[in-house]
Structure 1
Protein backbone atom coordinates (compact mmCIF):
# COMPACT_ATOMS: atom_id res chain seq x y z
CA UNK A 1 0.00 0.00 0.00
CA UNK A 2 1.21 3.51 -0.83
CA UNK A 3 0.21 6.69 0.97
CA UNK A 4 1.60 10.18 1.66
CA UNK A 5 3.02 11.11 5.05
CA UNK A 6 3.43 14.75 6.08
CA UNK A 7 6.23 15.57 8.54
CA UNK A 8 5.04 18.81 10.15
CA UNK A 9 7.63 21.22 11.54
CA UNK A 10 5.63 23.81 13.53
CA UNK A 11 6.77 27.08 15.02
CA UNK A 12 6.05 26.58 18.73
CA UNK A 13 5.03 29.63 20.74
CA UNK A 14 6.22 29.61 24.34
CA UNK A 15 3.52 29.47 27.03
CA UNK A 16 0.61 29.44 24.56
CA UNK A 17 -0.80 25.94 24.24
CA UNK A 18 -4.01 27.26 22.67
CA UNK A 19 -2.16 29.02 19.83
CA UNK A 20 0.05 25.98 19.25
CA UNK A 21 -2.96 23.68 19.06
CA UNK A 22 -4.67 26.03 16.58
CA UNK A 23 -1.52 25.97 14.44
CA UNK A 24 -1.36 22.17 14.56
CA UNK A 25 -4.95 21.89 13.38
CA UNK A 26 -4.24 24.25 10.49
CA UNK A 27 -1.19 22.20 9.48
CA UNK A 28 -3.35 19.06 9.41
CA UNK A 29 -5.74 20.90 7.08
CA UNK A 30 -2.85 22.01 4.86
CA UNK A 31 -1.39 18.50 4.64
CA UNK A 32 -4.77 16.91 3.96
CA UNK A 33 -5.44 19.42 1.17
CA UNK A 34 -2.53 17.99 -0.85
CA UNK A 35 -3.44 14.37 -0.22
CA UNK A 36 -1.42 13.45 2.88
CA UNK A 37 -2.95 10.56 4.78
CA UNK A 38 -0.75 10.89 7.90
CA UNK A 39 0.55 13.96 9.76
CA UNK A 40 3.41 13.76 12.27
CA UNK A 41 4.39 16.37 14.89
CA UNK A 42 7.41 16.89 17.20
CA UNK A 43 8.03 16.07 20.84
CA UNK A 44 6.30 18.52 23.21
CA UNK A 45 4.63 20.09 20.19
CA UNK A 46 2.15 22.13 22.25
CA UNK A 47 4.21 23.36 25.19
CA UNK A 48 7.99 23.04 24.72
CA UNK A 49 9.65 20.64 27.18
CA UNK A 50 9.51 20.98 30.96
CA UNK A 51 12.69 22.51 32.38
CA UNK A 52 14.48 22.50 35.72
CA UNK A 53 12.81 24.56 38.42
CA UNK A 54 9.16 24.10 37.45
CA UNK A 55 6.69 23.79 40.31
CA UNK A 56 4.22 20.93 40.67
CA UNK A 57 1.46 23.37 39.77
CA UNK A 58 3.24 24.31 36.53
CA UNK A 59 3.69 20.64 35.64
CA UNK A 60 0.02 19.96 36.36
CA UNK A 61 -0.91 22.82 34.03
CA UNK A 62 1.32 21.41 31.28
CA UNK A 63 0.09 17.82 31.64
CA UNK A 64 -3.10 16.35 30.18
CA UNK A 65 -4.73 12.94 30.14
CA UNK A 66 -4.82 11.06 26.85
CA UNK A 67 -7.52 11.28 25.64
CA UNK A 68 -7.95 14.81 26.90
CA UNK A 69 -8.76 18.30 25.59
CA UNK A 70 -5.88 18.67 23.11
CA UNK A 71 -5.97 15.10 21.78
CA UNK A 72 -9.76 15.31 21.47
CA UNK A 73 -9.45 18.44 19.31
CA UNK A 74 -6.90 16.69 17.08
CA UNK A 75 -9.14 13.62 16.91
CA UNK A 76 -12.02 15.76 15.64
CA UNK A 77 -9.74 17.21 12.96
CA UNK A 78 -8.67 13.68 11.96
CA UNK A 79 -12.34 12.73 11.52
CA UNK A 80 -13.02 15.89 9.53
CA UNK A 81 -10.07 15.35 7.19
CA UNK A 82 -10.15 11.51 7.24
CA UNK A 83 -6.46 11.40 8.15
CA UNK A 84 -4.21 9.83 10.76
CA UNK A 85 -2.11 11.86 13.19
CA UNK A 86 1.02 10.87 15.09
CA UNK A 87 0.55 13.54 17.73
CA UNK A 88 4.13 14.32 18.69
CA UNK A 89 4.28 14.00 22.44
CA UNK A 90 3.05 15.70 25.58
CA UNK A 91 3.24 15.29 29.33
CA UNK A 92 0.55 12.68 29.96
CA UNK A 93 -1.37 12.40 33.22
CA UNK A 94 -1.59 8.61 33.24
CA UNK A 95 -4.35 6.53 34.75
CA UNK A 96 -1.90 5.23 37.38
CA UNK A 97 -1.36 8.80 38.58
CA UNK A 98 2.13 9.12 37.09
CA UNK A 99 3.44 11.48 34.42
CA UNK A 100 5.00 10.21 31.18
CA UNK A 101 6.17 11.71 27.90
CA UNK A 102 3.62 10.13 25.56
CA UNK A 103 2.76 10.08 21.87
CA UNK A 104 -0.78 9.23 20.75
CA UNK A 105 -1.59 7.80 17.31
CA UNK A 106 -5.06 8.85 16.17
CA UNK A 107 -7.06 7.28 13.34
CA UNK A 108 -9.45 8.87 10.82
CA UNK A 109 -12.38 7.71 12.95
CA UNK A 110 -11.09 9.88 15.78
CA UNK A 111 -10.13 6.92 17.95
CA UNK A 112 -6.71 6.40 19.51
CA UNK A 113 -4.94 3.50 17.80
CA UNK A 114 -2.24 3.36 20.45
CA UNK A 115 0.09 5.26 22.75
CA UNK A 116 3.84 5.14 23.25
CA UNK A 117 5.73 6.59 26.23
CA UNK A 118 9.39 7.60 25.93
CA UNK A 119 11.57 4.89 27.49
CA UNK A 120 14.71 7.02 27.89
CA UNK A 121 13.74 10.37 29.47
CA UNK A 122 16.56 12.80 30.08
CA UNK A 123 17.33 15.14 32.93
CA UNK A 124 19.18 18.07 31.35
CA UNK A 125 18.17 21.48 32.74
CA UNK A 126 16.45 22.43 29.47
CA UNK A 127 14.53 19.14 29.27
CA UNK A 128 14.15 18.08 32.88
CA UNK A 129 11.99 14.98 32.83
CA UNK A 130 12.64 12.66 35.83
CA UNK A 131 13.38 15.76 37.89
CA UNK A 132 9.83 16.92 37.13
CA UNK A 133 8.28 13.54 37.90
CA UNK A 134 8.18 12.09 34.36
CA UNK A 135 8.53 8.32 34.45
CA UNK A 136 9.97 6.20 31.61
CA UNK A 137 7.76 3.94 29.54
CA UNK A 138 8.54 0.23 29.60
CA UNK A 139 7.28 -1.08 26.25
CA UNK A 140 8.35 -0.99 22.59
CA UNK A 141 5.04 -1.70 20.84
CA UNK A 142 4.38 -2.03 17.12
CA UNK A 143 0.87 -0.93 16.14
CA UNK A 144 -1.09 -2.71 13.42
CA UNK A 145 -2.95 -0.10 11.36
CA UNK A 146 -4.86 -0.26 8.07
CA UNK A 147 -1.80 1.39 6.47
CA UNK A 148 0.76 -1.05 7.90
CA UNK A 149 2.86 -1.64 11.02
CA UNK A 150 3.90 1.53 12.84
CA UNK A 151 6.24 2.22 15.76
CA UNK A 152 7.26 5.32 17.71
CA UNK A 153 10.46 6.40 19.45
CA UNK A 154 10.86 9.78 21.11
CA UNK A 155 13.94 11.98 21.27
CA UNK A 156 16.73 10.25 23.24
CA UNK A 157 15.20 6.84 22.44
CA UNK A 158 16.72 6.87 18.96
CA UNK A 159 20.21 7.75 20.15
CA UNK A 160 20.49 4.07 21.11
CA UNK A 161 20.61 1.84 18.04
CA UNK A 162 18.94 -1.01 19.92
CA UNK A 163 15.49 0.56 19.68
CA UNK A 164 15.20 1.06 15.89
CA UNK A 165 16.83 -2.36 15.46
CA UNK A 166 14.18 -3.97 17.69
CA UNK A 167 11.43 -2.25 15.74
CA UNK A 168 12.88 -3.58 12.50
CA UNK A 169 12.98 -7.08 13.97
CA UNK A 170 9.33 -6.66 14.96
CA UNK A 171 8.47 -5.82 11.37
CA UNK A 172 7.68 -2.11 11.61
CA UNK A 173 7.14 -0.47 8.20
CA UNK A 174 7.51 3.05 9.59
CA UNK A 175 9.14 4.41 12.74
CA UNK A 176 7.88 7.85 13.74
CA UNK A 177 10.44 9.81 15.75
CA UNK A 178 9.20 13.05 17.36
CA UNK A 179 12.04 15.09 18.83
CA UNK A 180 12.76 18.51 20.30
CA UNK A 181 16.43 19.46 19.86
CA UNK A 182 17.79 23.00 19.68
CA UNK A 183 19.62 24.44 16.68
CA UNK A 184 22.96 23.34 18.11
CA UNK A 185 22.03 19.78 17.12
CA UNK A 186 20.46 20.64 13.75
CA UNK A 187 22.81 18.49 11.67
CA UNK A 188 22.28 15.44 13.89
CA UNK A 189 18.56 15.05 13.24
CA UNK A 190 18.60 14.10 9.52
CA UNK A 191 21.71 12.01 10.20
CA UNK A 192 19.92 10.04 12.90
CA UNK A 193 16.92 9.59 10.59
CA UNK A 194 19.21 7.98 8.03
CA UNK A 195 20.93 5.86 10.68
CA UNK A 196 17.65 4.66 12.18
CA UNK A 197 16.32 3.76 8.74
CA UNK A 198 19.50 1.79 8.08
CA UNK A 199 19.41 -0.02 11.43
CA UNK A 200 15.74 -0.98 11.13
CA UNK A 201 15.26 -1.22 7.35
CA UNK A 202 12.08 0.77 8.02
CA UNK A 203 11.03 4.23 6.95
CA UNK A 204 11.98 6.76 9.64
CA UNK A 205 10.05 10.02 10.02
CA UNK A 206 12.00 12.32 12.36
CA UNK A 207 10.23 15.58 13.20
CA UNK A 208 11.71 18.58 15.04
CA UNK A 209 10.19 22.04 15.70
CA UNK A 210 11.30 25.61 15.09
CA UNK A 211 10.99 28.64 17.34
CA UNK A 212 12.50 30.30 20.40
CA UNK A 213 12.49 29.31 24.05
CA UNK A 214 13.27 32.27 26.26
CA UNK A 215 15.22 32.17 29.52
CA UNK A 216 15.82 28.41 29.53
CA UNK A 217 18.25 26.88 32.05
CA UNK A 218 21.07 25.00 30.31
CA UNK A 219 24.14 23.00 31.27
CA UNK A 220 27.44 24.57 30.28
CA UNK A 221 28.91 21.31 28.92
CA UNK A 222 26.43 21.09 26.04
CA UNK A 223 26.24 24.75 25.10
CA UNK A 224 29.77 26.06 25.83
CA UNK A 225 28.13 28.80 27.83
CA UNK A 226 30.58 29.01 30.72
CA UNK A 227 30.53 27.44 34.13
CA UNK A 228 27.77 29.74 35.34
CA UNK A 229 25.58 29.61 32.25
CA UNK A 230 22.33 30.06 34.14
CA UNK A 231 19.59 30.62 31.56
CA UNK A 232 19.78 31.52 27.88
CA UNK A 233 17.42 31.87 24.91
CA UNK A 234 17.43 28.70 22.81
CA UNK A 235 16.73 28.64 19.08
CA UNK A 236 15.18 25.61 17.38
CA UNK A 237 15.86 25.18 13.66
CA UNK A 238 13.92 22.13 12.52
CA UNK A 239 15.89 19.61 10.50
CA UNK A 240 12.82 17.41 9.99
CA UNK A 241 13.54 14.51 7.63
CA UNK A 242 12.03 11.32 6.24
CA UNK A 243 14.50 8.52 5.49
CA UNK A 244 14.46 5.09 3.89
CA UNK A 245 17.22 2.69 2.93
CA UNK A 246 19.80 4.91 4.61
CA UNK A 247 18.92 8.03 2.59
CA UNK A 248 16.78 11.08 3.38
CA UNK A 249 14.01 11.11 0.80
CA UNK A 250 12.41 14.34 2.06
CA UNK A 251 13.52 17.20 4.27
CA UNK A 252 12.14 20.57 5.39
CA UNK A 253 13.72 23.97 5.13
CA UNK A 254 15.39 25.17 8.34
CA UNK A 255 14.56 28.00 10.76
CA UNK A 256 10.95 28.24 9.56
CA UNK A 257 7.63 26.45 9.83
CA UNK A 258 7.38 23.89 7.05
CA UNK A 259 5.99 20.51 6.00
CA UNK A 260 7.81 17.89 3.97
CA UNK A 261 6.08 15.00 2.25
CA UNK A 262 7.03 11.51 1.14
CA UNK A 263 5.26 8.54 -0.37
CA UNK A 264 5.41 5.52 1.95
CA UNK A 265 5.28 2.10 0.31
CA UNK A 266 4.39 -0.32 3.10
CA UNK A 267 5.81 -3.26 1.11
CA UNK A 268 9.24 -1.68 0.56
CA UNK A 269 10.72 -2.46 4.01
CA UNK A 270 10.09 -6.18 3.66
CA UNK A 271 11.57 -6.11 0.17
CA UNK A 272 14.67 -4.40 1.60
CA UNK A 273 14.93 -6.99 4.37
CA UNK A 274 14.60 -9.87 1.93
CA UNK A 275 17.32 -8.33 -0.23
CA UNK A 276 19.69 -7.84 2.70
CA UNK A 277 19.03 -11.37 3.92
CA UNK A 278 20.18 -12.70 0.56
CA UNK A 279 23.47 -10.80 0.45
CA UNK A 280 24.43 -10.28 4.12
CA UNK A 281 24.22 -13.69 5.82
CA UNK A 282 25.91 -12.28 8.94
CA UNK A 283 23.81 -9.10 9.12
CA UNK A 284 23.12 -9.78 12.81
CA UNK A 285 25.17 -11.80 15.33
CA UNK A 286 23.10 -11.76 18.55
CA UNK A 287 25.35 -14.40 20.11
CA UNK A 288 28.01 -11.67 20.30
CA UNK A 289 25.86 -9.02 21.94
CA UNK A 290 25.79 -10.19 25.56
CA UNK A 291 27.40 -6.99 26.82
CA UNK A 292 24.25 -5.10 25.88
CA UNK A 293 22.10 -6.77 28.54
CA UNK A 294 24.50 -6.74 31.48
CA UNK A 295 23.12 -4.36 34.15
CA UNK A 296 26.56 -2.87 34.73
CA UNK A 297 26.70 -1.64 31.12
CA UNK A 298 23.56 0.51 31.48
CA UNK A 299 25.58 3.66 32.23
CA UNK A 300 27.44 5.65 29.56
CA UNK A 301 30.58 3.99 28.26
CA UNK A 302 33.68 4.06 30.43
CA UNK A 303 31.95 5.57 33.47
CA UNK A 304 31.26 4.21 36.93
CA UNK A 305 27.99 6.00 37.60
CA UNK A 306 25.76 4.13 40.03
CA UNK A 307 22.28 4.05 38.47
CA UNK A 308 20.71 1.77 41.05
CA UNK A 309 18.81 4.64 42.67
CA UNK A 310 17.62 5.92 39.30
CA UNK A 311 16.25 2.52 38.34
CA UNK A 312 14.13 2.51 41.49
CA UNK A 313 12.16 5.35 39.89
CA UNK A 314 10.81 3.04 37.20
CA UNK A 315 7.21 2.15 38.01
CA UNK A 316 6.11 -0.92 36.10
Structure 2
Protein backbone atom coordinates (compact mmCIF):
# COMPACT_ATOMS: atom_id res chain seq x y z
CA UNK A 1 0.00 0.00 0.00
CA UNK A 2 1.58 3.28 -1.08
CA UNK A 3 -1.10 5.73 0.03
CA UNK A 4 -1.37 5.58 3.81
CA UNK A 5 -4.55 7.68 4.00
CA UNK A 6 -7.55 5.34 4.14
CA UNK A 7 -11.21 5.67 5.07
CA UNK A 8 -12.77 3.29 7.56
CA UNK A 9 -16.23 3.03 9.12
CA UNK A 10 -18.05 1.44 12.04
CA UNK A 11 -21.75 0.61 12.02
CA UNK A 12 -23.96 1.34 15.00
CA UNK A 13 -27.01 -0.48 13.73
CA UNK A 14 -29.65 -2.79 15.23
CA UNK A 15 -29.91 -6.53 14.75
CA UNK A 16 -33.16 -8.43 14.30
CA UNK A 17 -33.04 -11.18 16.89
CA UNK A 18 -32.63 -14.64 15.39
CA UNK A 19 -33.29 -13.48 11.81
CA UNK A 20 -30.13 -13.97 9.77
CA UNK A 21 -31.93 -13.24 6.50
CA UNK A 22 -33.21 -9.85 7.65
CA UNK A 23 -29.82 -8.87 9.03
CA UNK A 24 -28.07 -9.88 5.81
CA UNK A 25 -30.49 -7.79 3.79
CA UNK A 26 -29.92 -4.77 6.05
CA UNK A 27 -26.14 -5.11 5.67
CA UNK A 28 -26.35 -4.33 1.97
CA UNK A 29 -27.65 -0.80 2.53
CA UNK A 30 -25.02 -0.08 5.17
CA UNK A 31 -22.25 -1.37 2.89
CA UNK A 32 -23.53 0.76 0.03
CA UNK A 33 -23.60 3.86 2.27
CA UNK A 34 -20.08 3.22 3.61
CA UNK A 35 -18.70 2.70 0.11
CA UNK A 36 -20.33 5.92 -1.09
CA UNK A 37 -18.47 7.71 1.72
CA UNK A 38 -15.19 6.25 0.48
CA UNK A 39 -14.76 3.62 3.20
CA UNK A 40 -12.71 0.55 2.35
CA UNK A 41 -13.42 -1.28 5.63
CA UNK A 42 -16.71 -1.40 7.57
CA UNK A 43 -17.05 -3.01 11.00
CA UNK A 44 -20.40 -4.38 12.22
CA UNK A 45 -21.33 -5.26 15.83
CA UNK A 46 -20.84 -8.53 17.67
CA UNK A 47 -23.32 -11.27 16.69
CA UNK A 48 -24.84 -8.87 14.15
CA UNK A 49 -26.22 -11.62 11.91
CA UNK A 50 -27.77 -13.64 14.74
CA UNK A 51 -28.58 -11.48 17.71
CA UNK A 52 -27.09 -12.10 21.14
CA UNK A 53 -29.52 -12.40 24.06
CA UNK A 54 -30.33 -16.10 23.78
CA UNK A 55 -31.68 -18.06 26.73
CA UNK A 56 -30.25 -21.44 25.81
CA UNK A 57 -27.81 -23.19 23.50
CA UNK A 58 -30.56 -24.55 21.28
CA UNK A 59 -31.82 -21.06 20.49
CA UNK A 60 -28.32 -19.79 19.80
CA UNK A 61 -27.58 -22.80 17.64
CA UNK A 62 -30.74 -22.15 15.64
CA UNK A 63 -29.41 -18.73 14.60
CA UNK A 64 -25.88 -19.95 13.87
CA UNK A 65 -24.39 -20.24 10.40
CA UNK A 66 -21.28 -21.80 8.90
CA UNK A 67 -18.24 -19.69 8.07
CA UNK A 68 -18.21 -21.55 4.75
CA UNK A 69 -21.90 -21.23 3.96
CA UNK A 70 -24.03 -19.32 1.50
CA UNK A 71 -24.34 -16.33 3.83
CA UNK A 72 -20.62 -15.58 3.69
CA UNK A 73 -20.60 -16.03 -0.07
CA UNK A 74 -23.44 -13.53 -0.30
CA UNK A 75 -21.52 -11.02 1.82
CA UNK A 76 -18.46 -11.52 -0.37
CA UNK A 77 -20.52 -10.82 -3.48
CA UNK A 78 -21.74 -7.59 -1.93
CA UNK A 79 -18.17 -6.67 -1.02
CA UNK A 80 -17.25 -7.12 -4.68
CA UNK A 81 -20.23 -5.04 -5.79
CA UNK A 82 -19.50 -2.16 -3.42
CA UNK A 83 -15.70 -2.31 -3.40
CA UNK A 84 -15.45 -2.70 0.36
CA UNK A 85 -14.37 -5.20 3.01
CA UNK A 86 -16.35 -5.91 6.16
CA UNK A 87 -15.94 -7.40 9.60
CA UNK A 88 -19.19 -8.88 10.89
CA UNK A 89 -20.12 -10.74 14.05
CA UNK A 90 -22.14 -13.97 13.96
CA UNK A 91 -22.79 -17.18 15.83
CA UNK A 92 -20.77 -19.84 14.05
CA UNK A 93 -21.81 -23.47 13.73
CA UNK A 94 -18.79 -25.73 13.18
CA UNK A 95 -19.61 -29.42 13.46
CA UNK A 96 -21.04 -29.88 16.93
CA UNK A 97 -19.30 -26.73 18.17
CA UNK A 98 -20.78 -23.25 18.55
CA UNK A 99 -18.63 -20.12 18.56
CA UNK A 100 -19.09 -16.38 18.95
CA UNK A 101 -17.17 -15.28 15.86
CA UNK A 102 -16.34 -12.35 13.64
CA UNK A 103 -15.57 -12.81 9.95
CA UNK A 104 -13.32 -10.58 7.89
CA UNK A 105 -14.79 -10.72 4.38
CA UNK A 106 -13.69 -9.27 1.04
CA UNK A 107 -14.59 -9.61 -2.60
CA UNK A 108 -12.86 -12.99 -2.86
CA UNK A 109 -14.49 -14.50 0.20
CA UNK A 110 -13.64 -14.92 3.87
CA UNK A 111 -10.20 -13.49 4.66
CA UNK A 112 -10.22 -14.79 8.22
CA UNK A 113 -12.28 -15.70 11.27
CA UNK A 114 -11.81 -14.63 14.88
CA UNK A 115 -13.47 -16.78 17.52
CA UNK A 116 -14.07 -15.16 20.89
CA UNK A 117 -11.94 -16.92 23.50
CA UNK A 118 -12.75 -14.87 26.61
CA UNK A 119 -16.39 -15.52 27.44
CA UNK A 120 -18.42 -13.58 30.02
CA UNK A 121 -21.45 -15.12 31.69
CA UNK A 122 -23.90 -13.15 29.57
CA UNK A 123 -26.20 -13.73 26.61
CA UNK A 124 -25.07 -16.22 23.99
CA UNK A 125 -21.60 -16.38 25.54
CA UNK A 126 -23.05 -18.60 28.27
CA UNK A 127 -23.65 -21.30 25.67
CA UNK A 128 -20.84 -21.06 23.12
CA UNK A 129 -17.63 -23.08 23.16
CA UNK A 130 -14.10 -21.86 23.78
CA UNK A 131 -12.16 -22.27 20.54
CA UNK A 132 -9.03 -24.41 20.25
CA UNK A 133 -5.64 -23.06 19.29
CA UNK A 134 -3.61 -20.02 20.29
CA UNK A 135 -3.09 -18.22 16.98
CA UNK A 136 -3.57 -14.46 16.74
CA UNK A 137 -6.43 -13.05 14.68
CA UNK A 138 -4.44 -10.72 12.44
CA UNK A 139 -5.39 -10.31 8.79
CA UNK A 140 -4.12 -8.49 5.70
CA UNK A 141 -6.77 -6.16 4.28
CA UNK A 142 -6.93 -3.33 1.78
CA UNK A 143 -6.40 -0.76 4.58
CA UNK A 144 -3.50 -2.56 6.28
CA UNK A 145 -3.06 -5.23 8.92
CA UNK A 146 -6.23 -5.60 10.98
CA UNK A 147 -6.44 -7.50 14.26
CA UNK A 148 -9.79 -8.61 15.63
CA UNK A 149 -11.05 -9.01 19.20
CA UNK A 150 -14.65 -9.19 20.41
CA UNK A 151 -16.34 -7.15 23.14
CA UNK A 152 -15.27 -8.46 26.60
CA UNK A 153 -11.81 -9.19 25.20
CA UNK A 154 -10.88 -5.51 25.60
CA UNK A 155 -10.48 -6.32 29.30
CA UNK A 156 -7.46 -8.50 28.49
CA UNK A 157 -4.58 -6.19 27.49
CA UNK A 158 -2.44 -9.12 26.36
CA UNK A 159 -4.64 -9.58 23.29
CA UNK A 160 -4.19 -6.13 21.83
CA UNK A 161 -0.53 -5.93 22.82
CA UNK A 162 0.15 -9.23 21.04
CA UNK A 163 -1.63 -8.00 17.91
CA UNK A 164 0.30 -4.72 17.99
CA UNK A 165 3.62 -6.52 18.40
CA UNK A 166 2.78 -8.56 15.30
CA UNK A 167 2.22 -5.38 13.30
CA UNK A 168 -1.48 -4.56 13.56
CA UNK A 169 -2.36 -1.12 12.20
CA UNK A 170 -6.00 -1.41 13.27
CA UNK A 171 -7.82 -3.51 15.82
CA UNK A 172 -11.51 -4.03 15.13
CA UNK A 173 -13.70 -4.61 18.17
CA UNK A 174 -17.26 -5.73 17.37
CA UNK A 175 -19.21 -5.44 20.63
CA UNK A 176 -22.60 -5.84 22.29
CA UNK A 177 -21.82 -3.62 25.28
CA UNK A 178 -24.84 -3.04 27.51
CA UNK A 179 -25.26 0.21 29.41
CA UNK A 180 -23.55 -1.38 32.42
CA UNK A 181 -20.27 -1.44 30.43
CA UNK A 182 -19.85 2.31 30.05
CA UNK A 183 -16.34 2.25 31.55
CA UNK A 184 -15.15 0.14 28.63
CA UNK A 185 -16.36 2.62 26.03
CA UNK A 186 -15.29 5.70 27.95
CA UNK A 187 -11.88 4.66 29.27
CA UNK A 188 -10.62 1.26 28.11
CA UNK A 189 -10.87 2.14 24.42
CA UNK A 190 -8.58 5.16 24.68
CA UNK A 191 -6.05 3.34 26.82
CA UNK A 192 -5.87 0.26 24.57
CA UNK A 193 -5.34 2.41 21.48
CA UNK A 194 -2.74 4.65 23.10
CA UNK A 195 -0.70 1.95 24.83
CA UNK A 196 -0.45 0.01 21.55
CA UNK A 197 -0.23 2.91 19.05
CA UNK A 198 -3.03 1.45 16.93
CA UNK A 199 -6.35 2.62 15.54
CA UNK A 200 -9.23 1.04 17.43
CA UNK A 201 -12.49 0.53 15.52
CA UNK A 202 -15.39 -0.16 17.89
CA UNK A 203 -18.83 -1.17 16.58
CA UNK A 204 -21.62 -1.46 19.15
CA UNK A 205 -25.42 -1.39 19.21
CA UNK A 206 -27.71 1.31 20.60
CA UNK A 207 -30.98 -0.65 20.57
CA UNK A 208 -32.55 -3.20 22.93
CA UNK A 209 -32.79 -6.97 22.88
CA UNK A 210 -34.39 -9.11 25.55
CA UNK A 211 -33.65 -7.41 28.86
CA UNK A 212 -30.47 -5.74 27.54
CA UNK A 213 -30.18 -2.10 26.59
CA UNK A 214 -27.08 -1.59 24.49
CA UNK A 215 -24.83 1.36 25.20
CA UNK A 216 -23.99 2.71 21.77
CA UNK A 217 -20.76 4.74 21.72
CA UNK A 218 -19.35 3.09 18.63
CA UNK A 219 -16.10 4.91 18.02
CA UNK A 220 -12.84 5.34 16.17
CA UNK A 221 -9.78 6.03 18.33
CA UNK A 222 -6.39 7.14 17.02
CA UNK A 223 -2.94 5.77 18.01
CA UNK A 224 -2.45 8.42 20.69
CA UNK A 225 -5.81 7.69 22.30
CA UNK A 226 -7.72 10.64 20.85
CA UNK A 227 -11.35 10.08 19.90
CA UNK A 228 -11.68 10.63 16.16
CA UNK A 229 -15.44 10.08 16.38
CA UNK A 230 -18.05 8.66 18.76
CA UNK A 231 -21.61 7.78 17.69
CA UNK A 232 -23.14 8.36 21.11
CA UNK A 233 -26.68 6.94 20.91
CA UNK A 234 -27.14 7.77 17.22
CA UNK A 235 -27.96 4.91 14.85
CA UNK A 236 -26.00 4.75 11.61
CA UNK A 237 -22.44 4.80 10.34
CA UNK A 238 -19.41 6.62 11.70
CA UNK A 239 -16.75 7.21 9.03
CA UNK A 240 -13.26 8.69 9.22
CA UNK A 241 -10.20 9.09 7.03
CA UNK A 242 -7.04 8.16 8.91
CA UNK A 243 -3.30 7.95 8.25
CA UNK A 244 -2.14 4.35 8.71
CA UNK A 245 1.48 5.55 8.99
CA UNK A 246 0.65 6.93 12.42
CA UNK A 247 0.02 3.40 13.71
CA UNK A 248 3.44 2.30 12.43
CA UNK A 249 5.30 4.94 14.41
CA UNK A 250 5.83 3.69 17.96
CA UNK A 251 7.82 6.71 19.19
CA UNK A 252 6.54 9.95 20.72
CA UNK A 253 8.86 12.88 20.03
CA UNK A 254 8.21 15.97 22.13
CA UNK A 255 11.61 17.54 21.37
CA UNK A 256 13.90 15.68 18.99
CA UNK A 257 17.08 14.43 20.65
CA UNK A 258 15.97 15.65 24.08
CA UNK A 259 12.48 14.36 24.91
CA UNK A 260 11.52 11.16 23.13
CA UNK A 261 9.81 8.03 24.41
CA UNK A 262 9.62 4.68 22.62
CA UNK A 263 7.43 2.36 24.69
CA UNK A 264 7.81 -0.56 22.27
CA UNK A 265 11.60 -0.29 21.95
CA UNK A 266 11.91 0.21 25.70
CA UNK A 267 10.04 -2.98 26.60
CA UNK A 268 11.93 -5.51 28.76
CA UNK A 269 10.01 -8.79 28.19
CA UNK A 270 12.54 -10.90 30.11
CA UNK A 271 11.57 -9.11 33.31
CA UNK A 272 7.81 -9.60 32.91
CA UNK A 273 6.90 -12.80 34.72
CA UNK A 274 4.90 -14.15 37.60
CA UNK A 275 6.63 -16.48 40.06
TM-score after normalising by structure 2: 0.87
The question of 1:29 aligning with 2:7 is answered no
Shift of 1:165: 1.0
Aligned to 1:7: 10
SS of alignment partner, residue 209 of structure 1: coil
TM-score under structure 1 length normalisation: 0.77
Report SS of the residue matched to 1:26: helix
Alignment correspondent of 1:172: 168
Q: Pick the aligned partner of 1:258 from 227, 236, 261.
A: 236
1:257 Cα deviation from its structure 2 partner: 1.4
- 1:285, CA displacement in angstroms? 3.1
- Residue-by-residue CA offset, 1:141-195 (whole Å, 9 max, x unaligned): 3212343111101111111111111111111000001110112323531422211
Which is further off, 172-181 or 281-290?
281-290
Q: Which residue does the alignment assign to 2:209?
A: 213
CA contact (8 A) 2:37 2:239 kept: no
In 2, Cα distance between equivalents of 1:104 and 1:120: 17
Q: Which runs of 5+ in 1 are unaligned?
A: 215-232, 295-316
Is residue 221 of structure 2 the alignment partner of residue 247 of structure 1? no
State yes or no: 1:81 paired with 2:64. Answer: no
Which deviates further from its counterpart, 17-26 or 175-184? 17-26
2:20 matched residue in structure 1: 17
Question: Relative to structure 1, is the Cα distance of residues 133 and 261 closer, same or farther in structure 2, using a 3 angstrom cutoff?
Answer: closer
1:102-132 Cα offsets, whole Å, 9 max, x none, are 111112x2321111111212223xx242x42
Unpaired runs of 5+ residues, structure 2, are: 254-258
Q: Aligned runs of 1:64-213 on 2, under 5 Å?
A: 64-87=65-88, 89-94=89-94, 97-107=96-106, 109-124=107-122, 127-129=123-125, 131-136=126-131, 138-213=134-209
SS in 1 for 2:73: helix
Deviation, 1:74, is 1.6
RMSD: 2.2
Corresponding residue SS for 2:214: strand
Separation in structure 2 between the aligned mates of residue 164 and residue 38 of structure 1, nearest angstrom: 19
CA separation in 1, counterparts of 2:181 and 2:120? 16
**Structure 1's 288 and 202: CA in aligned 2 closer, same or farther, altered over 3 A?**
same
Q: Within 2, Cα distance between the matches of 1:26 and 1:16?
A: 17
Indicate the larger mover: 241-250 or 62-71: 62-71
**Deviation of 1:59 (Å):** 2.9
Equivalent residue runs for 1:29-48 within 5 Å: 29-48=32-51
Query: 8 Å contact 2:50–2:64 — kept in the other structure?
Result: no
- Secondary structure at the aligned position of 1:206 is classed as strand
- Please list, as runs of the form range in 1=range in 2, the aligned pairs for 1:266-281 lying within 5 A after superposition: 266-271=244-249, 273-275=250-252, 278-280=260-262
Give the conservation status (yes or no) of the 8 Å contact 2:10–2:42. yes
How many equivalent residue pairs? 264
Q: What pairs up with 1:280-291 in 2 under 5 angstroms?
A: 280=262, 283-291=266-274
Which residue of 238, 241, 246 maps to 2:216?
238
Distance of aligned partners of 1:27 and 1:146 in 2 relative to their CA distance in 1, 3 Å threshold: closer
Aligned-residue offset at 1:55: 4.7
